[in-house]
Amino acid sequence: MEHNHQIQQQTSAFKIGVLLNSVFIVLEAGYGFASGSLALVADAGHNLSDVLGLLISWLALWLGQKSANAKYTYGYKSSSILAALFNAVFLLVAIGAISVEAIQRLSHPGPVAEWDVIIVAAIGILVNGFTAFLFMKGQKHDLNIKGAFLHMAADAGVSVGVVVAGFIILQTGWYWLDPVVSLLIAVIILIGTWGLLRDAMNYSLEAVPSNVDQQAIHDYLVAQPTVNQVHDLHIWGMSTTETAMTVHLCRSTLDGNNEFLEKLNKELSSKFPLTHITIQVELGKVDFETTDDSI
């Protein structure tokens, strides 16, 4: 029930976020072109990428709830990993486009309508800040939701920078500051995107998720009564919220094996962030010279 409630909250957050940001994009891009502000146009382009990212993350959230079938035996849970990876790559493309345009404008800066820039960017602070707030709770446990949160939080920060730049231009007439702010926007996006890209790549390569301590799990298994060897311990993310583990355990006896497995599964699930556990038990020890696939 709690999980379903979280899904409903996240779905509502996506609906509100997409609607608010779509309206804001039209407003920001229109004022940006009308006022000649590259900072506003650049931020509108970034917001467009965020809306697309929100839609992709929303789709991944929906797909993750679909049941497994004969072809996709784990269901579509890993779609959230693809969504996070796509968002990161898409943002990198946006960074390149913003940077190229800003560098070109830097050599030929032009006047901008400062008050239009300030007012529209101030609205952006409210829109992006509120949308980020909607994802604040869920981003702590889901890389897919974290991607949405980081985008919105970064946009709110960028809008603050645009407002500050607008006031400075109003007082000084430093029109070159507009493309400089655009470059700063690109740097901020890059910083926020890098961690998302790294984590998404790790998930895609089935690395051990950063919130899982593999050595602690290994030590816990070794410490179990009758267990004299642990090998082929593999841990990977099935999705951005669910982690799978498989392991071979060698026991000195197979007495009470069913009870042993049931108890161990419950303890592992409660002590570690593992949601899908597969344990194979063998009698005695396994001889192997290398440890390429074991720990």
- Domains of the chain plus CATH, in order, are 2-204 (1.20.1510.10), 214-283 (3.30.70.1350)
Percentage of residues in the chain having pLDDT higher than 70: 89
Q: Is the pLDDT of residue 288 over 70?
A: no
Low-confidence winner among 3-7, 187-191, 246-250 (lowest mean pLDDT): 3-7
The partner residues of 234 in beta bridges, in order of sequence, read: 246
**What sections of 36-174 are H helices per DSSP?**
38-63, 79-107, 114-135, 143-172
- Could you say which DSSP state residue 227 is in? E
Q: Is the pLDDT of residue 204 over 80?
A: yes
Q: Is the pLDDT of residue 290 over 60?
A: no
> Cβ(113)–Cβ(35) under 8 Å?
yes
- Residue 271: how many other CB atoms lie within 10 Å: 11
Confidence of residue 61 (pLDDT cuts 50, 70, 90): confident
Confidence of residue 113 (pLDDT cuts 50, 70, 90): low
pTM of whole model > 0.75? no
- Give the span between the Cα atoms of 63 and 289, in whole angstroms: 43
- Could you say which DSSP state residue 252 is in? S
- Give the span between the Cα atoms of 276 and 236, in whole angstroms: 10
